[in-house]
Structure 1
């Protein structure tokens, strides 16, 4: 009987915990999507706003940030399409998110984003690793 009561008590706790994780992942995906959409509409300042303070320290001006993005991250800057892949909460305030991208050249890419929750509760992008994918788009 004790085990049944314990199990009944734990179900809501586990459910709420799963929802919290889903909310974190959704918030991180919203940040990535908002940055990509800002790039697509040419709103570079808005896109820069999704960069974490650590990235802003490395690229302290919008011009420096955009120079890096346009030279090294064309598939992210100008994707034909993108979709979210695997995601993982790697800490209480950190998310890793895979993004599958069809680049402007029609080739497939995989971007691995890292994000951290900021003191204001928002997620900001701390890094992106981009590589050509072995899959084929249709």
Structure 2
């Protein structure tokens, strides 16, 4: 499944853009959750950043400190983005995925796909995947 999702993201990058009919109406609540988590990362506030995660993510990492260490090591472009812009929101296999175009401090560009899940009526981040996107401008 992961390879399929990475393949879909790469195909979108190579095509230059997601076709208009594939994109859903932007959701300000979803964008706000993602922006809130990134803002918390930039302040090294891993307790707040952890609050934006789904129960599954919380169960996997168990503490904000473990979660923060994973983000710093595995997702430095999310921990300290230089620039970010929201791309399309898409539904894939019944799940909502919000694309975010991120440029890191070194100027490298990434397409970051956030899998979103509603928990008690509130959006939470239930997964993230990153695809280098050297051809995109952030």
Per the TM superposition, whether the score is higher than 0.5 is yes
Q: Structure 2 stretches of 5 or more lacking a match? A: 1-23
**Alpha-carbon distance between aligned partners in 1 of 2:55 and 2:85, rounded to the nearest angstrom:** 26
**Alpha-carbon distance between aligned partners in 2 of 1:30 and 1:53, rounded to the nearest angstrom:** 19
Q: Which residue of 2 aligns with 1:31?
A: 33
Question: SS of the residue aligned with 1:115?
Answer: strand
Indicate if the aligned counterparts of 2:25 and 2:89 stay in contact, CA closer than 8 A: no
1:98, distance to aligned residue in structure 2 (A): 0.5
**Alpha-carbon distance between aligned partners in 1 of 2:97 and 2:135, rounded to the nearest angstrom:** 21
* TM-score (normalised: structure 2): 0.75
Q: Verify: 1:41 aligned to 2:43, yes or no.
A: yes
Indicate if the aligned counterparts of 2:46 and 2:65 stay in contact, CA closer than 8 A: no
Q: CA RMSD in A?
A: 1.8
Q: Which residue of 2 aligns with 1:108?
A: 109
State the 4+ residue runs in structure 1 displaced beyond 4 angstroms.
none
**Alpha-carbon distance between aligned partners in 2 of 1:130 and 1:22, rounded to the nearest angstrom:** 22
Work out which structure has the larger RCO, using CA pairs closer than 8 Å and 6 or more positions apart in sequence.
Answer: 2
Structure of greater Rg:
1
Matching of residues 91-102 of structure 1 within 5 Å: 91=94, 94-102=95-103
Q: Verify: 1:133 aligned to 2:133, yes or no.
A: yes
Q: Deviations over 1:59-98 (max 9, x none)?
A: 001121111100000000000010000112454xx42100
* TM-score (normalised: structure 1): 0.75
Q: Structure 1 stretches of 5 or more lacking a match? A: 1-20
